[in-house]
Amino acid sequence: MNNAGSGYKNTPPWYGGKLTIGPVIENGCKCQKCGRLYKIDFLIPADLWEEIKPFGKSVGAGLLCGICIIKAIEKLIDDYDAFEILKIT
């Protein structure tokens, strides 16, 4: 198989079309809003998550980095608010 210009050294022999491989993330997740790789999950109340989750995701689904979570929450509030980080595991 000719792989010239494909960017991939080893195209699977069973593959016949355009090859699409997502980014390899060795340790962490990729934010579905900004694309940033992150290593800390923020566990937030389900009802709040439904208001800020990435567009088009089903109930309870989606991945956001801490920065995008905070930005989304800031858009929901009119005044100052505070959240407490209870622990890092």
Which residues in this chain contact Zn ion in the complex, by CB under 5 A?
31, 33-34, 36, 65, 68
Give 28's Cβ-side CA count (13 Å radius).
15
Which of 17/23 has CB closer to Zn ion? 23
How long a stretch of residues is the chain? 89
- Provide, rounded to whole angstroms, the least separation between the CB of residue 31 and Zn ion: 3
CB distance 66 to 74 below 8 Å: no
In angstroms, give the least distance from the CB of 68 to Zn ion: 3
Taking the C-alpha atoms of residue 46 and residue 74, their distance in angstroms, rounded to an integer, is 17
Q: Tell me whether residue 19 or residue 28 sits nearer to Zn ion (CB atom).
A: 28
Nearer to Zn ion, 19 or 34 (CB): 34
